[in-house]
A and B are shown apart, each in its own frame.
Chain A
Amino acid sequence: MNAPIPPGSVIEVADAVAAGRERAAEVCRAALARIAQIDPDVRAFLHVSADHARARATQLDSAIEAGRGGGALAGVPIAIKDNLCTRFAPTTAASRALEGFVPPYDATVVERLESAGALLVGKTNLDEFAMGSSTENSAFFPTHHPLDRGRVPGGSSGGSAAAVAAGMVPAALGSDTGGSVRQPAAFCGCVGLKPTYGRISRYGLIAYGSSLDQVGVLAGNVRDAARVLEVIAGPDARDATCSTHRPEAYSAAMTEELVSRRMAGLRLGVPREYFGEGLSDSVRRAVEAAIDKARRGGARVVDVSLPRARHSVAAYYVIATAEASSNLSRYDGVHYGVRRGAEAGIEALVRESRGAGFGAEVQRRIMLGTFALSAGYYDAYYAKALRVRRLLRDDFSAALREADVLISPTTPTTAFRLGEKLSDPLSMYLADVYTIAVNLAGLPAISIPCGADEAGLPIGLQLIAPALGESLLLQAARAFEQMLASAG
């Protein structure tokens, strides 16, 4: 079989289709062909919406022929994590509890992508309800790392990261509650952007930890991520937690001129807590090399501290699971999804439906969270975790007064083997140690590729910016991307 032709970038495809140089129908056909060829091995998709994408492509081509514009994402094939509601395809959050559920509404981000001309080609795999870091917790099947089928792609947005990294689509949406976009991007070798909490509407995103969840973008490069962000960001009357600030023109901030000036004088904060114990040598070397290169490129490297960061995993697992225990209590077998035990009355119906609907990790987190909110334990766990969260925000504010952006590894290691951490949830939780604090603080962050380890597995570096500082973050990330691509 011939190797599939890799997709063009988001920007190349959109500009070519909008200008009429390329037909959306042809782009769509090629994307579906790539998925058909590659996905049987990778298993990134839970559902491929070929008919829907083809129909949209045909509509788009006629609109463009009729001179009615094309949109910023005209004809760009995009994959959607299956915890984002779509009317055109089932939305399961990779859970038996929602098997066969077709929402009667689209998520705000889905609406915005489609109005910008994107072709939504399918729904990608994830850890059930986005709970996990390997996509092994999917109730249906695990997704494989595109470069090594014996390894995980990371998670929970593992399907979206694998689809982009394997060249099936130029971009995909994920969601990031504790690193679920950045960690799989780092493992798979693509760009993963988690914007500020509230920068993108959560309407239609199936909630895991509502105060932490944020829709994010997986793409082949930083400029593509900026283009997609520009389309989906901004106020939404349907989400009370969505920022009312208008988004900046992220694409316009990505000009060569602005980017090339960005590195000189950039105050690059290095949180010392993120280079300590547990960080693998190969990842440390790669990130430190990138920092050196930045210094040579004119950045001012500043040593900063996040003293409370060491409590962030603990605080996260209290807050996220507490919110999850409440968010997931609606899956009770009464209204949709799995129903068991209805004959024996309401208590049995709820108990047995939930027992059958949820996998082990989800049940574990629901129980953790239920405990944390229980009478008599609330203050010791939930209230204390909220205090840690506030202190952590203070740490980030202090660090971001000394630096423009912070730099760290995205993950302590490269992609691990399938099954390697399944029996040890705690070590799996620690895979998110560098990403979690960012969600607790609500800040924007991005993971970009930064070389590979001895086995050729990708390494990611993370940049963190102040709240609503996406333009700065993307410029800095683009500057790093260019710098790392150049020799020397």
Chain B
Amino acid sequence: MSLTAEARCEAIIGLEIHVQLATRTKMFCGCALAYGAEPNSHVCPVCLGMPGSLPVINERAVELAIRAGLALNCRIAEETRWDRKSYHYPDLPKSYQISQYDLPIAFDGMVEFEVQEVHRRIRIRRAHLEEDAGKNTHDLPGRTLVDLNRAGAPLLEIVTEPDFRSAAEVREFAVQLQRIVRYLGVSEANMQKGQMRFEPNINLRIADGERVAVTPIVEVKNLNSFRALHDAIEFELADQLRRWREDGRTLRPGNKSNRGWDEERGVTVPQREKEEADDYRYFPDPDLTPLPIARERIERLREETPELPIPRTARFIAEYKLPPRDAPALVDDRASADLLDQAKDHGGEPSILGRHFLSFWLMHANARETTIAGLGVSAERMAGLARLQHEGAVNATAAAQIAEAMLTDDSPPDALAQRMGLMQTRDSGAIEAWVEQAIAANVQAVSDARENPKKLAAARGFLVGQVMKLSGGKADPRIVGELLDSRLRRPQ
């Protein structure tokens, strides 16, 4: 197919994300979730699918799924149901997966975020619970080994509407989704451990004048990093245009296909289709009863939903005057971000607290390989230090010194400042004496300040410096300035 110069291509992309829930045990049995353990060491009759075994719902997984659903602005089902999805594969012990088909636990949601300073809103079609399969390995030639430690791990499958228009949007959404699920404690979302996996579905709408063509949908399976997600989409979009130019094939019922991502070559490759493709023979699992979810439970969880990373980042930038570049990292460390809010609630001046957090508190945390919250300094004491500086009792340099002492000494910040001799002198009598001394010792500067407007600023600065020097750095510079100014206005 050939195109005119006016032809426009629009990407249509949807995303499926599998998130492993951060429960202690599997979805339907009591086995612990243990990544990297000896193969088949965390299994039982239930997750091995042994005859006569029966699944029992992990209530914690249901709770985490509701939390995630609420954070994605979904509606939560009043009654959710379990269905069996049938297919044969060695890593699927029962030859069916317990999933949710027509009554997912969460549905009709949306996520708003910004990408390259453009506001985007992506609709969430549904989020449902299911159990993970095990893992096949082909380490021995001619043999397949099966490890069922992961079989039965609780997964939340989140499905978006095809609302993305570029790979960059998908990537940014994925990053924000990872922040959200981590924030809620819903998942560790560690991609190396397979706790977050992506499957984008991609096609192109090609409009050339009156003519509109839509290319067949391709689903790229099992992407395990943001980079692979981005690059696979970029490649597939370009390649779909190339393929369409070659064969002119457009979207028809049944011509959706799956492809894999060849990381090394940077290309998507066709995947062999399963023999029984597309007929999973879903039906309600008779071993599990439908699960009603009480409105009160949903409302309680809604109230417990914390401020989420995207709005919190915006607020931190505005309120604590954090540089936009640094704000997300602080927000994502939820305990430290909470500590910052608590310090503010204890009366710490927000912009000073923001500076303290990103300067010395972060530095000490990094040096100790912990987080700011991990330093063990209470919000109240952090607020106390910020207040000292805000009131002018200590300057920024002194505050940093006091902070260091606070790590090993539980005394209140003002007591430490006193003991360390870092309190600024606000006793106007003492300051006045230093001012008099400086004026007497620097006749030239005084006369410059009084008589030569061009030299006023420099002379005044010099005199303030002299006073500070006489005070040993302890005089409150604001009071010094005020006293000096009134003294200079006075006739000799």
Contacts and interface: CB of A to CB of B under 8 A. Distances in A.
Interface of A: 83-85, 91, 93, 98, 101, 103-105, 107, 202-207, 209-211, 237-241, 322-323, 325-326, 329-330, 332, 334-335, 346-347, 350, 370, 373-375, 378, 382
Interface string B89-103: 110011110000000
19 contacts: A83-B52, A91-B51, A98-B51, A103-B51, A104-B45, A105-B50, A202-B54, A210-B286, A237-B56, A239-B56, A240-B57, A241-B54, A325-B281, A330-B95, A332-B95, A335-B48, A335-B93, A347-B88, A373-B282
B225 interface: no
Contacts of A206: 51-52
A387 to B, nearest CB: 14
A480 to B, nearest CB: 33
B255 interface: no
B283 A373 contact: yes
A238 B279 contact: no
A329 B96 contact: yes
A350 B52 contact: no
Given A103-B45, A240-B289, A374-B281, A326 B96 contact: yes
A83 to B, nearest CB: 8
B194 interface: no
A385 B53 CA distance: 26
A378 B283 contact: yes
A329 B94 contact: yes
A345 to B, nearest CB: 10
B84 interface: yes
A166 to B, nearest CB: 27
A202 B54 CA distance: 8
Contacts of A210: 286-287
B88 A238 contact: no
Contact of A330 (B93, B144, B282): B93
Contacts of B279: 374-375
A67 B431 CA distance: 95
Contacts of B286: 209-211, 241, 323
A330 B54 contact: no
Contacts of A330: 49, 51, 93-96
A277 to B, nearest CB: 32
Interface string B395-429: 00000000000000000000000000000000000
Nearest to B29: A238
A335 B146 CA distance: 10
Contact of B54 (A91, A203, A350): A203
Given A93-B51, A240-B54, A329-B96, A322 B146 contact: no
A105 B56 CA distance: 17
Contacts of B56: 237-240
Contacts of B53: 105, 203-204
A329 B84 CA distance: 11
Contact of B146 (A207, A241, A334): A334
Contacts of B278: 375
Contacts of A373: 86, 281-283
B54 A239 contact: yes
A270 B204 CA distance: 68
Interface of B: 45, 48-57, 84, 86, 88-90, 93-96, 144, 146, 275, 278-279, 281-283, 286-289
Nearest to B45: A105
Nearest to A349: B90
B283 A238 contact: no
A273 B412 CA distance: 89
A207 B48 CA distance: 15
Contact of B287 (A240, A350, A378): A240
A239 B52 CA distance: 10
Given A105-B45, A326-B84, A382-B283, A238 B93 contact: no
Contacts of A378: 281, 283
Contacts of B94: 329-330
Q: Please provide the 10 A-B residue pairs with the shortest distance between their CB atoms, ordered closest to farther.
A: A329-B95, A211-B286, A210-B286, A373-B281, A204-B52, A206-B51, A85-B52, A330-B94, A206-B52, A375-B279
A206 B287 CA distance: 12
A207 B51 contact: yes
Nearest to B143: A342
B52 A203 contact: yes
A241 B88 contact: no
B55 to A, nearest CB: 7
Contacts of A240: 54-57, 287-289
A370 B281 contact: yes
Given A210-B286, A210-B287, A240-B57, A346 B52 contact: no
A234 B54 CA distance: 16
A332 B279 CA distance: 18
A104 B54 CA distance: 14
A268 to B, nearest CB: 33
A334 B90 CA distance: 6
Nearest to B95: A329
Nearest to B91: A334
A238 B54 contact: yes
Contacts of A98: 51
A308 B189 CA distance: 52
A332 B287 contact: no
A382 B45 CA distance: 29
A103 B288 CA distance: 22
Contacts of B84: 326
A101 B95 contact: no
**B55, B57, B86, B283: which has the most chain A beta carbons within 10 Å?**
B283
A346 B49 contact: no
**B49, B94, B95, B279: which has the most chain A beta carbons within 10 Å?**
B95
A43 to B, nearest CB: 23
B283 to A, nearest CB: 5
B146 A326 contact: no
Given A332-B95, A347-B275, A373-B282, 15 more contacts: A91-B51, A98-B51, A204-B53, A240-B56, A240-B288, A241-B54, A323-B286, A329-B94, A330-B49, A334-B90, A335-B48, A346-B144, A350-B88, A373-B86, A374-B279
A373 B279 CA distance: 9
A25 B17 CA distance: 61
Contacts of B146: 334
B54 A103 contact: no
A84 B89 CA distance: 26
A210 B54 CA distance: 10
Given A240-B287, A382-B283, A326 B86 contact: yes
B50 A103 contact: yes
Nearest to B291: A240
Contacts of B54: 202-203, 238-241
A329 B93 contact: no
B90 A205 contact: no
Nearest to B57: A240
B57 A332 contact: no
A189 to B, nearest CB: 30
**B48, B49, B88: which has the most chain A beta carbons within 10 Å?**
B88
A118 to B, nearest CB: 19
Contacts of B96: 326, 329-330
Given A205-B52, A378-B283, A332 B88 contact: yes
Contacts of A375: 278-279, 281
Contacts of B88: 329, 332, 346-347, 350
B275 to A, nearest CB: 6
Contacts of B57: 240
A148 B183 CA distance: 72
Contacts of B86: 326, 329, 373
A139 B275 CA distance: 30
A262 B11 CA distance: 76
B287 to A, nearest CB: 5
